[in-house]
Amino acid sequence: MQLPLVDPFERAIRYLRVSVTDRCDFRCVYCMSEDMTFLPKKDLLTLEELDRLCSAFVRLGVQKLRITGGEPLVRRDIMTFFRAMGRHLETGALNELTVTTNGSQLQRFATDLAQAGVRRINVSLDTLDDAKFTAITRWGRLPQVLRGIEAARAAGLRVKINTVALKGFNEDELFSLADWCAREDMDLTFIEVMPMGDIGNEDRLGQYWSLEDLRSRLAERFSLTDLGESSGGPARYVRLAETGQKIGFITPLSHNFCESCNRVRITCTGEIYTCLGQDGHSDLRAPLRGSDADADLEAAIRRAIALKPRGHDFDYSRQQVDGKVARHMSHTGG
Ligand code: SAM
Ligand code: SF4
């Protein structure tokens, strides 16, 4: 029996997020510039390497695995990887296998995901207006994503919508988004825009819409009850009495959520980031490629976890973007 992974602040690491590609079929303005340069394919972990790496984490006590990117569902043969991870669900070692997606490929893959053992997915969607959707994603088409969401629900997947709160962009859709999710029985989580990566000319302070403000506006129409539950992650939840629906807030900037953080992230090149908001990372690709046995890999994982920082340093309070990290969200996986 392996000793579980515990960091220096006695947080047991149970949740792994893995970016399986940095590529994407959208170019969301807060995430990438339109002429984003992607990594050479040889730098990416192969599907077999991803399997070995994730399986090592599962052996070391990870119970929840979220697949992300880039857009995870544009990676070639990605269903092979999902099916491979499904075996850890069957043994009971893994409690949950899930994915964060922009929804563009769900029509194709929803049934396969369900068959691999996925039960819940997160779909990112910032607006229900066709023209605004194309403006924010640059290359995305709303009807395709809505059909994808329908396919997911038809396949029995529970869908949570993730919406980045953007000042002057979707402020006026707060209630229409909440109503749509209530009608369709989908949970909804709002995310504050985070200072990650160079995205060209876009202005992050201009995009920043505080979720405290968003929450006060929700409270003008609904009665909110705070829910104590936490997934060990940054989301905090409220219940709306009138509709019964659950709304989440991911507020890395206006609140600090680090004390209960039980997660780590792997990039598509096999780097491990033990904090989304810090640049510190360790390489797991070299130990992975250096030996077919997993002893070196497991030792490297333990060394990396021993360096997990207490928390992040994002700070907008001085009206400038402090604590910005250089990498893109699509590299680490949001
Ligand atoms: N392509 C998939 C998607 O969009 O769901 C998965 C990867 S994407 C990087 C994961 C999440 O990160 C999305 O919900 C996206 O809206 C969010 N995201 C990207 N850049 C962000 C930023 N600068 N601040 C806050 N959220 C961001
Ligand atoms: Fe692609 Fe997701 Fe980034 Fe949008 S947020 S560009 S869909 S990786």
319 pLDDT above the threshold of 60: no
What confidence score (pLDDT) does residue 308 get?
87
Any idea of the CA torsion for 46, 48, 51, 53, to the nearest 10 degrees?
-70
Match domain 15-328 to its CATH number in 2.60.40.420, 3.20.20.70, 3.40.50.300, 2.40.50.140: 3.20.20.70
102 lines ligand 2 (CB under 6 A): yes
Per-residue pLDDT tens digits for 202-214: 555 567 888 999 9
Confidence class for position 124, pLDDT limits 50, 70, 90:
very high
What confidence score (pLDDT) does residue 314 get?
57
| Rounded percentage of the chain residues whose pLDDT exceeds 70 | 86
Per-residue pLDDT tens digits for 151-165: 999 999 999 999 999
94 pLDDT above the threshold of 70: yes
Confidence class for position 317, pLDDT limits 50, 70, 90:
very low
What confidence score (pLDDT) does residue 252 get?
63
Cα of 309 vs centre of ligand 2, distance in Å, is 27
Confidence class for position 320, pLDDT limits 50, 70, 90:
very low
Average pLDDT, the chain: 89
122 lines ligand 2 (CB under 6 A): no
**How many residues does this entry show for the chain?**
334
27 lines ligand 2 (CB under 6 A): yes
Q: Which of 23, 253, 329 to mutate to test the pocket of ligand 1 (most atoms within 8 A of CB)?
A: 329
Cα of 19 vs centre of ligand 1, distance in Å, is 12
Residue 150 burial (CB < 10 Å; 0-12/13-18/19+)?
middle
69 lines ligand 2 (CB under 6 A): yes
Segment 61-71 mean pLDDT: 97
CA dist 296 and 31 (Å) reads: 34
Segment 50-71 mean pLDDT: 97
Q: Whose CA is nearest to atom 8 of ligand 2?
A: 70
What confidence score (pLDDT) does residue 3 get?
77
Segment 191-219 mean pLDDT: 77
Given a contact cutoff of 8 angstroms between Cβ atoms, the answer to whether 12 and 63 are in contact is no
Q: What are phi and psi of 92, to 5 degrees?
A: 90, -5
Q: Whose CA is nearest to atom 17 of ligand 1?
A: 334
What confidence score (pLDDT) does residue 229 get?
66
What confidence score (pLDDT) does residue 318 get?
43
The model carries a pTM of: 0.92
Q: Which residue has the higher pLDDT, 311 or 74?
A: 74
Give residues (CB < 6 A) around ligand 1: 24, 30-31, 68-69, 71, 100-102, 124, 162, 164, 191, 193-194, 196, 329-330, 334
Per-residue pLDDT tens digits for 257-309: 677 788 899 999 999 998 877 778 999 999 999 999 999 999 999 999 999 88
Task: Return the domain boundaries, the chain.
Answer: 15-328
Q: Which of 71, 191, 192 to mutate to test the pocket of ligand 1 (most atoms within 8 A of CB)?
A: 191
